[in-house]
Amino acid sequence: MSIGKSINRVDAFDKVTGRAQFTDDFKLNNALVAKVLHSTIASGVVKVIDISEAMKLKGVVKIVTCFDVPDIQYPTAGHPYSLDPAHMDIADRKLLNKIVRYYGDDIAAVVATDIVTATRAINLIKVEYEEYKPILSIEAALKQGANKIHEEYPGNILAHTSYEIGNYENAIKEEGLIVFEGEYELSPVKHCHIENPISYAYAEGKRLVVVSSTQIPHIARRVIGQALGMDWGKIRVIKPYIGGGFGNKQEVLYEPLNAYLCKVIGGRCVKLDISREEDFVNTRLRTAMKIKIKSYVRANGRFVARKLEMYGNKGAYASHGHSVTNKSGHAFKQIYKDEVATKGDMYSVYTNMPASGAMRGYGIPQITFALESHVDDIASKLGLDKIEMRKLNAMKLGFIDNQVKCNSNGLAECIDKGRKYIDWDNKLIEYKNQTGPVRRGVGMAIFSYAVGVFPISLETAACRIVLNQDGSVQVQMGATEIGQGADTVFAQMVSEVLDIPIENVHTISTQDTDITPFDTGAYASRQSYVSGMAAKKAAMELKEKIIEHANFMLRLPAGNLELKDNNIIKKETGEVLASLKDVSMHALYNTEKSVHITSEVTNQCKSNTFAFGVCFAEVEVDIPVGKIKVIKVINVHDSGTILNPALAAAQVHGGMSMSLGYGLTEQLLFDDATGRMLNDNLLDYKLPTTMDTPHLEAQFVETYDVSGPFGNKALGEPPAIPVAPAIRNAVLNATGVNFNIAPLTPQRLVEKFKKENLI
């Protein structure tokens, strides 16, 4: 049995020895190098680009400007394609842009023999602009008479969605309800994956091949075709090993431009890599949000009616469109259920800032910070037990929202485990009525997370398994391994169904759209749930075919045989009749009926469920210097069946680390006048290091979710959700001061502590 065991990663040896091939390892002879010229204004129009001096440089092969590229607007989001035009991603970007919409917009590109020449050429290009005053905030974008960032969107509102469950206006008329209001702000942050986005593009016959560090090879193929106006079948995308993505590479970034550059120079290989500074500015950010919550509550803490007003700063381009803000807003009515009514309004707003898109958690970290801060503030003001108030209002088993059903719910057990680890009850007593400059406190936050994208978008995944002559199998998944351990879990699933040793399952980590079965990619914590079901179904089909051939080989009637422990056995007695290798060899080489035993199955997922979890944190706050030290922190997750405990713990550790940064240190800063990013590097952007990270405790409550392939549900993104609000609430417990903005930087802490007369 493989499921539930801490089996070593199937890619571990290649990665730790350096044998794994990443995109930059796919070097072709005489490859040219591309470099992009970025705008030095945030809003305006490119009037003239003078490339004459740059073209004189020896080694410059081609310079392409925004006046040369096809007049095609295309989408960049890594979403499944929709046959319904109303549900297609927003096409608002071109390969290079005449209209400048943020500081750093792509306006020209150089192809040269080497990076030094390409960089020198970029510096020699002269640009004339017609410059406008940039719109850098949601408030400025929504102001009456503000410049339109995109002509198609007057008022700079990309989208507005709303919902109302029950009658909100009637609900709030009930006598005796206590009203609470809160406003919360979440800053833009960066993914900071180790490997920057990089691609190679070259011609192969009449087709273009793009080798890319992408989470979504099949979607990248389609978007490249859309951007270049090419048939999708004339494009091939190869995804090697990838050095992280966290949602940034769930976007088609520079692959279309690179493919175009390759095409216009006759198909010679072009490498387009970007610097860390370019990655910060020119790829995607976590969506900055402003959130207002109004709650009508009974004295016992029961929510009667709540209202949400949410604004997401999309930046200059739609990227994932309204989906991040929309998902965030809908989560508001999921984790907590109002007794009478819930109302939500979600807006996505264009500004002259770098575009925001997908990042681990996809809007749920933002709403969870706001909501869990709000809940803690209510409980504090009413003098209620913060855990009991959450349990009173939290989602119950059987809850359904838009076809997403709570099939299993271990949240209460998660809370109990975390409570015990942090010693919650004793610490609340110990830290009561503190004085002095250094104080301690404990806080907690809960969350729910809907797995995958059904029913909003198509959920489809395919798996191919091939039986080898030695009885081992090769597994090809369209789902992408991006560092999370998916290939290992897929191998475990196949091993479990076939009942063969894990070392006999060879998972192919490279995706190639010419060869690999279709899958929409790595996002939405969908892979073990959606793609995993494809692996399970393909293994079941292969098992049937193996037994069918074993019946033929052994001249036995159907129904008598089973595949167990790498052997064909008699069901009734358990007698071993043949090894799997014997059957494999016979299938291919017998002269009577040679057959290549394979299976290929598509799983269209038409179900969804909720994962749950909690974080408890203990902190020490040095009030005069505004320093927060995390003493103890634990995440407890209900992700259904834990497929691989060691991998699961690693996922939780990584997610908790990201949430620590989100809550305490990470914040992108911009010049208020120009919109230029000020800390676009790993020195000035305060990413937590190992020196800043306490022990991260990860524990699980296992439930069995009937909709998952092995009772499992999401775990990839949930760990990044609850730590930031738990720390915020621990600071509230320690100091009595509530902070409604993240991150909780020293400057912000000191300013508010002064305001509250603690300093």
- Alpha-carbon gap, residue 521 to 607, rounded angstroms: 18
Helix (DSSP H) and strand (DSSP E) numbers for the chain: 19, 32
Residue 700 sits at φ, ψ, to 5 deg, of -135, 150
3-state secondary structure of 15: helix
DSSP-assigned letters across all residues of 522-540: S-TT-IIIIIHHHHHHHHH
Domain boundaries, the chain: 13-132+197-273, 285-454+607-755, 460-604
User: What is the pLDDT at residue 486?
Assistant: 96
- Alpha-carbon gap, residue 442 to 732, rounded angstroms: 9
3-state secondary structure of 269: coil
CA distances from 737 to 122, 443, 726, 754, 755 (A): 50, 13, 14, 11, 10
User: What is the pLDDT at residue 30?
Assistant: 86
Residue 737 tokens read as: 């001061």
Residue 333 sits at φ, ψ, to 5 deg, of -95, 10
3-state secondary structure of 64: strand
CA 695-429-383 angle, to 5 degrees, is: 110
- Alpha-carbon gap, residue 408 to 396, rounded angstroms: 9
Residue 467 sits at φ, ψ, to 5 deg, of -85, 125
User: What is the pLDDT at residue 1?
Assistant: 82
> Domain 460-604 belongs to what topology?
Aldehyde Oxidoreductase; domain 4 (3.30.365)
Taking the whole predicted model, whether its pTM rises above 0.75 is answered as: yes
DSSP-assigned letters across all residues of 237-261: EEE-B----TTTTSB--SHHHHHHH
User: What is the pLDDT at residue 29?
Assistant: 79
Residue 715 tokens read as: 């775990």
- Alpha-carbon gap, residue 123 to 143, rounded angstroms: 37
The one-letter code for the residue type at 703 is: T
CA 711-699-248 angle, to 5 degrees, is: 75
CA dihedral 654, 658, 659, 661 (to 10 degrees): 140
Q: Is 485 exposed, middle or buried (0-12, 13-18, 19+ CB in 10 A)?
A: buried
Residues 6+ apart with CB under 8 A from 666: 187, 189, 190, 685, 686, 687, 688, 743
3-state secondary structure of 611: strand
Residue 40 tokens read as: 């030095």
Residues 6+ apart with CB under 8 A from 709: 493, 528, 529, 532, 533, 535, 536
The one-letter code for the residue type at 620 is: E
User: What is the pLDDT at residue 209?
Assistant: 98
User: What is the pLDDT at residue 557?
Assistant: 87
Neighbours of 379 (CB within 10 A): 19
| Identical fold, 13-132+197-273 and 460-604 | no
CATH of region 285-454+607-755: 3.30.365.10
- At the fourth CATH level, the homologous superfamily of domain 13-132+197-273 is Aldehyde oxidase/xanthine dehydrogenase, a/b hammerhead (3.90.1170.50)
Contact between residue 184 and residue 190 where contact means Cβ atoms under 8 Å apart = no
Closest CA to 500 of 467, 461, 537: 467
Residues (pLDDT < 50) of the chain are none
